[in-house]
Amino acid sequence: MERRPPNMTVSPTPEYPGYGSDNSTQIRKGGSSSGSLDFYGWMNILSLLIALLGLVGNGAVLWLLSFRIRRNHFSVYILNLAAADALFLCGSLLKSIVQFNEYSFKFSMRRNLYFLRFMSYAAGLSLLAAISTERCLSALFPIWYRNCRSKHTSAAVCAGLWALAGMFWLLPFVLPNKFSHNFVTFVTILGPWLLLLTCVMGVSSLTLLLRVQCRSRRRRPPRLYLLVLLTVLLFLLCGLPMGVEDFLEIRFNKYLLPYWLYDPLACVNSSVNPLIYFFVGRLGNKRREPLREVLQRALGDEQELGDGTTNTPHTSSPETTL
């Protein structure tokens, strides 16, 4: 959620909620107007650097999954998640640039940039919920999962989630009311959706964790389950505070965390995911390998926890992706 540095004057252009310069905003940014602007500027630079590094990592994942690795139904989700993370980081990068000289950019551009970030945020959360739910089903009902699942399910689910996130993004522009009213309507609709997805992701991940814990005494848990659990845990620690804080501030005018803390955390959430993929892919292998092989190993281990058998990676059945 973008906010002005505390010692800036308010522009005569109408702004959306969260762009004020009152005392509560100054307190949230960490001090008085004399010193908090420098601190806020440094944190803005930190977010910019994190976004740049994250774009490199997600760009590598997008390149490998698009052109170098034959996709399976799980890697389709990771490809779309990397696209959502890259889109969010692009919005964060542009936001950091805009905040250095905010008056040089039109209000409509800053408004569209905000909704673009929230759309990619919602798409990333939706994809994470879909990934954790599918992994949970594959662990609890492995035979049903292998026999009844269509090979185009991943592509269809990703297309539906992107369409839903795009609908949220377009909603304020098609409503006939004033922008400030549409903005509150947008957050009111999006907030319960994010809460529902977080609950689904939390329940499925907890079930998956208990399943892995029960089976780990007999054999090593599959890489995919470890990848899902680490990715979900990272989102809960770094990505979720942004959605919760923006909803509480805009809908109820309540603050829990300062903006300079949770905005860099949201960038960390989207930037560290590629490191998780490559970390999981290198587990148990000390020799140096190309990134393509490491990523393929992380996304190709299709061992199921339910039947005690190890299946071959589904690299021979590519899927259409977005």
Residue 137 belongs to some domain of the structure: yes
Residue 81 belongs to some domain of the structure: yes
Q: Which of 235, 241, 268, 240 is nearest to 257 (CA)?
A: 241
Instruction: Tell me the pLDDT of the chain averaged across its residues.
Output: 75
Least confident of 35-39, 85-89, 135-139, 315-319: 315-319
Would you say 322 and 82 are in contact if contact means Cβ atoms under 8 Å apart?
no
* pLDDT, average across residues 48-58: 93
* Residue 26 binned pLDDT confidence (cut-offs 50, 70, 90): very low
Whole-model pTM: value is 0.79
Residue of higher predicted confidence among 240 and 218: 240
* pLDDT, average across residues 134-152: 84
Residue 87 belongs to some domain of the structure: yes
- Confidence check: pLDDT of 108 > 70: no
Tell me the DSSP string of 219-277: SPPPHHHHHHHHHHHHIIIIIHHHHHHHHHHHHH---SS-HHHHHHHHHHHHHHHHHHH
Q: According to the model, what pLDDT value does residue 25 have? A: 40
- H/E stretch holding 32 reads none
Residue 233 belongs to some domain of the structure: yes
* CA–CA dist 307, 300 (Å, integer): 18
Take residue 266 and report the two structure tokens written for it: 């949201």
Residue 141 belongs to some domain of the structure: yes
* Residue 4 binned pLDDT confidence (cut-offs 50, 70, 90): very low
- H/E stretch holding 63 reads helix 36-63
Instruction: Give the domain CATH number at 43.
Output: 1.20.1070.10
Task: Give the amino acid at 173.
Answer: F
Would you say 93 and 76 are in contact if contact means Cβ atoms under 8 Å apart?
no
* Residue 113 binned pLDDT confidence (cut-offs 50, 70, 90): confident
Task: Look at the block and give the residue holding tokens 């965390």.
Answer: 257
Domain count, the chain: 1
* Residue 57 domain boundaries: 35-300
* CA–CA dist 205, 201 (Å, integer): 6
Residue 77 belongs to some domain of the structure: yes
Residue 7 belongs to some domain of the structure: no
Residue 8 belongs to some domain of the structure: no
* CA–CA dist 320, 49 (Å, integer): 33
* pLDDT, average across residues 30-59: 76
- Confidence check: pLDDT of 18 > 50: no
Query: For 182-215, how does the pLDDT look when each residue is reduced to its tens digit (9 = 90+)?
Result: 566 666 777 788 889 889 998 998 888 887 777 6
* pLDDT, average across residues 68-78: 87
Cα maximum dimension of the chain? 66
Q: According to the model, what pLDDT value does residue 157 have? A: 93
Q: Which of 294, 249, 246 is nearest to 125 (CA)?
A: 246
